[in-house]
Amino acid sequence: MATNDVVAQTEDILNIKDIEDAKATISKYARKTPLIQSMFLSRQVADANVFLKLENMQLTGSFKFRGANNRMQHLSKEEAERGVITASAGNHAQGVALSGKLLGIDTTVVMPDEAPMMKRAATAGYGAEVDIHGATFDDAHEWMFERAKKEGKTIVDPFNDKYVMAGQGTIGLEILDDLWNVDTVLVPVGGGGLMAGIVTALKSFNPGIHVVGVQSENVHGMAESVNKGKLTYHHDDFTLADGTDVAMPGSLTFPIVDKLVDEIVLVNEEEVAQAMKDLLQRTKIVAEGAGALPTAALEAHKVDDKYIKGKNVVGLVSGGNVDLDRVSRIIDEFLKPTNKSIG
């Protein structure tokens, strides 16, 4: 379990002051999102008190607005005048695009072919130039660096950036504001920016909080990196959790997650789909695949009961940007179990 000494080992990358500063910086724009108790999950999951942190109700429908806005408010005048570029499967794209609109900064977003159509449309709707490039996020991420070099644009990385991580970490502060005696927190993990920020915030105040990362069995670069003790690529197949479809974590996020996060658990695609369905049907919450990862882990009992039963547990619903046709196909999947076409 992490201690204050362990937290101190990562302070040169990200510390609690960075997160508190981010809270003040983004307060003009970002919403404080609700933390609600789910009676359905509380009954279903080992008689726990299960709360959901609803970042699907954040501006742009995702937590990503926090980090993007914090980073872009810290750009120098020269960096802002050059315009910014980023890569994203959709949520960070929208956070950058809306922040650019609010701050008067030109934005370009590289999105992979697999990016959902509604996320592409929303990003363009906020005024960003959308550049579809590559089959996966990692392809788009590589092209982002090439375009930035060619065109002199300023990079706003989706996760491997101190200001981005700090912005995401403000979620941890809000959880503590609303539930100071939280015992266990489950967080979706992709590139690691969200987790790095939240775990830094939580452990800085209470190292005893059990922090769990959740990834898809199909794409879990962070889990593989933690297991191997070094940055490691992992991408087997498509995942419904497209917001966490990152095969390689960040060089800044990895050491924080490696040192501070207590465990990372994996869920399969059927478990993600079931969680999306249950969140919609039983809690009336629209969650995208990545946003349903913590619920999937709880429903599938991937975390030891000693951290769940009788405890105050928070699952982060990180976003709600999901194509309606995908929701329909997921529902159909459970009405017709032989149909496996939920991609």
Q: Which residues have C-beta within 8 Å of that of residue 92, sequence separation ≥ 6?
A: 64, 67, 68, 86, 158, 159
Q: Token pair for residue 134?
A: 């590559």
Q: Do 63 and 191 touch, CB atoms closer than 8 A?
A: no
Q: Do 104 and 135 touch, CB atoms closer than 8 A?
A: no
Q: Which of 38, 53, 62, 64 is catalytic?
A: 64
How many CB atoms are located within 10 Å of the residue 14 CB? 27
- For the chain, the distance separating the N- and C-terminal CA atoms, rounded to the nearest angstrom, is 37
How many CB atoms are located within 10 Å of the residue 55 CB? 28
Which residues pair with residue 231 across a beta bridge? none
Q: Which residues have C-beta within 8 Å of that of residue 108, sequence separation ≥ 6?
A: 83, 84, 85, 86, 128, 129, 131, 147, 153
Whether the CA torsion 186, 322, 156, 238 is positive or negative: it is positive
Q: Parallel, antiparallel, or unpaired for β 210-216 and 129-132?
A: unpaired
Q: Do 184 and 202 touch, CB atoms closer than 8 A?
A: no
What one-character DSSP code corresponds to residue 135? S
Q: Token pair for residue 247?
A: 């095969």
CA 294 to chain centre: 11
Whether the CA torsion 192, 268, 316, 325 is positive or negative: it is positive
318 is catalytic: yes
Rounded to an integer, what distance in angstroms lies between the CA atom of residue 12 and that of residue 28?
27
Q: Which of 88, 204, 225, 318 is catalytic?
A: 318
259 is catalytic: no
- Beta-strand ranges (E) seen in 80-202 are 84-87, 107-111, 129-132, 154-155, 184-188
Q: Which residues does the annotation mark as catalytic? A: 64, 318
